[in-house]
Structure 1
Amino acid sequence: MSARVRRGWPALWLGLALAGGTAAQPVVTLADAVDAAWRRSAQSAEAAGQVRQAQARRDAASAWWAAPPAVEAGVTRDRQKASGARVRETELGLAVPLWLPGQRSAGLEQADAATAAAAATTEAARLRMAGAVREAAAEVALQRAELLGAEAQWRELDALARDVARRVTAGDLAPADALAARAELLAASAAVAQARQRAQASELQWQALTGLAHVPDDVAGGPSPAAGATLDAHPARRAAALNAELARKRVAAAAASRRDAPELLVRARQEVSSGEPDTHGVGIAIRVPFGTTDRNGPLAAAALAELDVAEAAEREQVVQLGAALATARLAEQAAQQQLADERTRAGLLRERAGLIDRSFKAGETGLPDMLRALNAAAQAEAALARQQAVLAQATSRLQQAQGVMP
């Protein structure tokens, strides 16, 4: 192969190795990028709010009374008794709502289930954010591979155009050949400009998502679990299962709250009358509301409906996760096979371009054949670099489908 044909390929591989940044830039891992994107997202604030709500419910269920106590006070002045004495009555009372039997323990279990569900939902949301970050990083790597391939092809055509111009000047080639080489170079320049614009757009999307300027070199961000690994620990599946468990606890809490909370009433009464001794009294009473169908029916029906929805969502989640995992595995296997094919194809076209280049220099092959061979070899090298990025993206998607966090 000639020096010109060989010259572009090392630059392509070197550029791919350095595409993620230089030594002067900070090293950022995919996990760092996920953390940065999570902090910037509205989902993190929503998740934090769910955790606080769950903790507040637990604090309420841990209280000694079912609802905040209430104080009542009353004063009656200048009431006249039969004896003619003027009387002033003062009454103070305290109403303390009480837990029904089993209601407090059911509320604590529901609060614990809500806390666990909130934590699992947060992990599932972080995994979705990791998927968005992985896709953005893979898109940057893919567009950079396209750009490097276009630049390598431009360099090859630029070297060829200058070589043709020299040979036209020497009288070895016709002026039309110089025009053809120049036209091909201009087309390659346009391709480079388009590829650069797409690469810059993908980098801007990355920065908008993560707030980081540097893109990790490792798009996958870690090894994938073994082929026989199950999805039991998948954050989305755990979140669905714990939300279903929370719905069951709500049904149990609704069953334990068949009526409004009874109230323990403690009252103290003082009567002051002119000309007569003061009287004092203390009374205790309990107020027990009835549990009627009008009150309990809608609450129980709402809890059961929520349970049905949560269990259906859990079943649906299991099916969807299994299908996504199978699809991701097939995509990665296909990407691996295609990478092997592209590597073989690039080697063959590289060798062919070298043979035609020697033939072109010897005057045995025309410029059109040389241009076609050079373009084919450059496109094959670009396709190989692009397929490497595609394989990295497929591996990243497989890890995402398996529930692996970076």
Structure 2
Amino acid sequence: MTLAAAVDAAWRKTQAGAAAQAQQALADAERQTAASLLAGSPALSLSERSDRWQDNTGVREREIALALPLWLPGQRSARLQAAEAESASAAQAVAAARLTLAGQLRELAWSLSSLKAEAEGASAQQRYLQTLAADVDRRVKAGDLARTDALAVDGERLNAQAEAISAQQRLQAEQQRWTALTDLAPDVVADEPDAGRAAGQEALVDSFDEVRHPQLAQLALAEEAARRQVEVARRDISEAPELSLGYRHERDARGQASRGSVTVGLRVPFGTDGRNAPLRAAAQGALDKARAEQARARAALAADWRIARDALSVAERQTAMHRERAALLRQRAALLDKSFRAGETALPDLLLAVQAAAQADAALARQLAAQGNARARLLQASGVMP
């Protein structure tokens, strides 16, 4: 199971992008509204006039009319552009939400890798001490070693067994968190490319690319959408004018002929500061907020990238040191084991050497996972998906 597949599975399970998808649906609806030929919903009106309850001379008048809201000059174009900008921002918000989810899975995947290596190391140590304990028991029965040596190695064996159980429990707990998030078996392969060496990744260790980062791209589009809303507020100087088309059927008195006529009317509301000033202030405030959020995010993400780059450099150097140390201590433990079986080394010296080698191997396993996690964090800070 690759990280990319895990992100897809977690995306489907957790609906992490529900807010972004709702924003996309709203933007699509606003775009459809702006693309309409009318500025609002048409209205149908019916009316009747009669003197039945007064003079009752047969006066009657009936009218049916249809009111059509009209766009102000430039208003429809401004709203359409604002809706398109909002739609682009919503689409990019989905990519930003997927990147956030990928960051969570990256951390969890490398935690699984570290705990798995720790559990395997603890199990290997337990198996070695079991074999050593059996050999010591045989030599105690043969009179080559004292009973205290058997007790010492049994104590180390039980301690290794307890450590193996504890490591396995921690691994199972992390596996359950993985399954709860993805509904997948915890057999993930943290297949991150080598930042700075894989094809197309060289720029990650040279500079922070603001353009390619999904979160910064989304904030830039959000700022553009807010700027378009300011233009909408500037064009929206009043309520929509209404063109009314109607037909009137009337009779002056009972017994007289009825006649019909067509009516055409235009209703033009006036815009005042009481209406327009709050709308423009709200639009300008949203634009200022979007710009401030973009500036803060740019500074924070650039700082995160620098921290991740430096952490990866340090982790690579530390890994080299841990690898060399583990190799030396394994070699020392192997030599002392051979010497002990030949009867030339005391058991306490061998146990100390074996314990030191096991600790070095565990530290190396943790450091390898830490280096992989540091690489993943650099890719995450650079806005690169798995």
Distance of 1:194 and 1:183 partners within structure 2: 17
Superposed displacement of residue 202, structure 1: 0.7
Structure 2 residue 215 is the aligned partner of structure 1 residue 270: no
Superposed displacement of residue 241, structure 1: 0.5
2:167 to 181, 195, 217: 195
The gaps in structure 2 that reach 5 residues or longer are: none
Provide the TM-score with structure 1 as the length reference.
0.89
More displaced 10-residue stretch of structure 1: 343-352 or 264-273: 264-273
Structure 1, residues 86-127: CA drift from partner, whole Å, max 9, x if none? 122111111111111110000000000011000111100010
Q: In 2 relative to 1, CA 330–384 (structure 1 residues): closer, same or farther, beyond 3 Å?
A: same
Q: Which residue of 1 aligns with 2:47?
A: 74
More displaced 10-residue stretch of structure 1: 159-168 or 278-287: 278-287
SS of 1:86's equivalent? coil
Confirm or deny: 8 A CA contact 2:11 2:98 kept in the other structure: yes
Q: Give the residue type in structure 1 aligned to 2:113.
A: A
Superposed displacement of residue 129, structure 1: 0.7
Written as runs of structure 1 = structure 2, the 5 A alignment for 1:22-101 is 28-79=1-52, 85-101=57-73
SS of 2:59's equivalent? strand
Q: Which residue of 2 aligns with 1:160?
A: 132
Superposed displacement of residue 80, structure 1: 8.5
SS of 1:43's equivalent? coil
More displaced 10-residue stretch of structure 1: 371-380 or 283-292: 283-292
2:352 to 355, 368, 372: 372
2:334 to 314, 332, 354: 354
Written as runs of structure 1 = structure 2, the 5 A alignment for 1:4-403 is 28-79=1-52, 85-220=57-192, 225-226=201-202, 227-228=205-206, 230-272=209-251, 273-403=253-383
Superposed displacement of residue 45, structure 1: 2.6
Superposed displacement of residue 357, structure 1: 1.9
Distance of 2:54 and 2:278 partners within structure 1: 50
Structure 1, residues 218-243: CA drift from partner, whole Å, max 9, x if none? 34267552123523110001011001
SS of 1:320's equivalent? helix
Structure 1, residues 140-181: CA drift from partner, whole Å, max 9, x if none? 111101101111111121111111111111111110110110
Superposed displacement of residue 78, structure 1: 4.1
Confirm or deny: 8 A CA contact 1:137 1:215 kept in the other structure: no
Q: In 2 relative to 1, CA 202–218 (structure 1 residues): closer, same or farther, beyond 3 Å?
A: same
Superposed displacement of residue 395, structure 1: 1.1
Distance of 1:166 and 1:385 partners within structure 2: 33
Distance of 1:33 and 1:358 partners within structure 2: 46
Provide the TM-score with structure 2 as the length reference.
0.94
Query: Structure 1 stretches (4+) deviating beyond 6 angstroms?
Result: none
Q: In 2 relative to 1, CA 159–376 (structure 1 residues): closer, same or farther, beyond 3 Å?
A: same
- Give the percent of matched residue pairs that are identical in Structure 1 and Structure 2: 47
Structure 1, residues 177-225: CA drift from partner, whole Å, max 9, x if none? 1011001110111100110000001111111111101432234267552
Q: Which residue of 2 aligns with 1:25?
A: none
